[in-house]
Amino acid sequence: MVFKLNNHLLSRIASSNGHGEDSPYFEGWKAYDSNPHHPMENPNGIIQMGLAENQLSFDLIQDWLKNNPKASICTPEGVNEFREIAIFQDYHGLPEFRNAVAKFMAKVRGNKVTFDPDRVVMNGGATGAHETIAFCLADPGEAFLVPTPYYPGFDRDLRWRTGVKLIPVDSESSNNFKVTREALENAYEMAKLNNIKVKGLLITNPSNPLGTMLDRETLRSIVRFINEKNIHLVCDEIYAATVFSQPEFISIAEIVQEDIECNLNLVHIVYSLSKDMGFPGLRVGIIYSYNDAVVSCARKMSSFGLVSSQTQYMIASMLSDDEFVGKFIRESKTRMAARHRVFTDGLAQASIKCLETSNAGLFLWMDLRGLLKEKTFEAEMALWRVIIHEVKLNVSPGCSFHCTEPGWFRVCIANMDDQTMEVALSRIRTFVNKDVDTKKPKRTLRWQGSLKLSSPRIYDDFINSPHSPLPQSPLVLARN
């Protein structure tokens, strides 16, 4: 006997599309997974350029591991610690781990600030950290303001299980997508008009996907804004060590130590080792909050996504090696700068520009507005499909980042070797030189003309619109 599965037998979460899998960001992953490029076995496959992964300095990590076998409890040199580490399950984490992470966070920020190990809360990657902080700060139906363009995974991380809303704060290319006080005020006031309670502001610094940093005055303006509104400030700083040229990175931790009025109970930092160290698979996420109640609650909630004690043990040993950490940070910046230079020079040969203020991150914000047949998001989607299926590159279109202007694409540049990078650049140049014709959209998106809405653009409204251009796709693996 065959039984049909009815959605009414499942929870709302299980039967909803809140994961966000119907975004081109994840659709690109599906296309790549079905036809991945390999230099020998599948040279005509799709090259993965939608993955913000730092693979440029793995040799340094591997050399350290070879020279420090005691850091692993699974080696003859480290096996004597196996029992104690294997049975450790305190959600506070190993003291050595918290101390090392706090020290590393300070080192990455130029030792201009210090971090209290007792405020370090571990989580299962930045994904888990963001969801935990959302649970701590907001109730279902309440909202966070988020400047656009922003990482598509936030729609999953902060919304899916928490019931929290995200309200985009629009930015424009005319000022290099800077976050302005005017835009923050507009989004906040529109939320109030629609009876949506704003509980916080989420910023990403350095920015994903822009690869830019917030300057000191912008950060001070943001602090004044959240202080006046009495709302929380969540600062995602997971790309802090990827800054490869001037100006230097400025952490929110540095700003709140200056002579500025600020309720520290409203300030929280999300960090991880996924980008700065290139360890996304180790799932080391960190919440650092100046609020005692948030630290306490987040630590209890971390039981649902702890970092394994084996990983804590190894990371504690690695990050406590001052000589190695200093060398790694310096060399990683040097290699990132070189990769950025080679890639932007390669794009320039095809007359393609990127956001010029970018000096951080593992990606470029690529300007393909000149290749659009029309200045619409339908035209952007048409171009994106050509790039995916004909050029065979998985890049991410701006609409998946809630960008208000069609024609921008994020392209990741640190997750491949030099040979693959050259193949990717060659494909881009060939595509542009052939002037591939992307078909004109048959109609204009009914929501396109209202990007400057008289009410706040909320993720749920956007994604559930029957006029949304985002393709439907089965659930695929969510990766940064």
Q: Looking at the annotation, which residues are catalytic? A: 151, 236, 238, 275
DSSP assignments along 415-474, one per residue: SS-HHHHHHHHHHHHHHHHHTPPPPPPSS--TTGGGSS-SS---HHHHHH-TT--PPP--
Residues 143, 167, 469: CA angle, nearest 5 degrees: 135
Q: Tokens at residue 403, please?
A: 């960008």
Residues 324, 329, 333: CA angle, nearest 5 degrees: 145
Closest CA to 338 of 266, 239, 414: 414
Q: Where are the alpha helices (DSSP H) in 304-376?
A: 309-319, 322-348
Q: Decide if 394 contacts 46 (C-beta within 8 A).
A: yes
Name 296's Cβ contacts closer than 8 Å, sequence gap at least 6: none
Closest CA to 416 of 436, 394, 396: 394
320 secondary structure, DSSP code: T
First to last CA, the chain: 42
Give the sign of the dihedral formed by CA 323, CA 326, CA 330, CA 335.
Answer: positive
Biggest CA pair distance of the chain: 72
Whole-angstrom Cα distance, residue 147 to residue 169? 4
Name 435's Cβ contacts closer than 8 Å, sequence gap at least 6: none
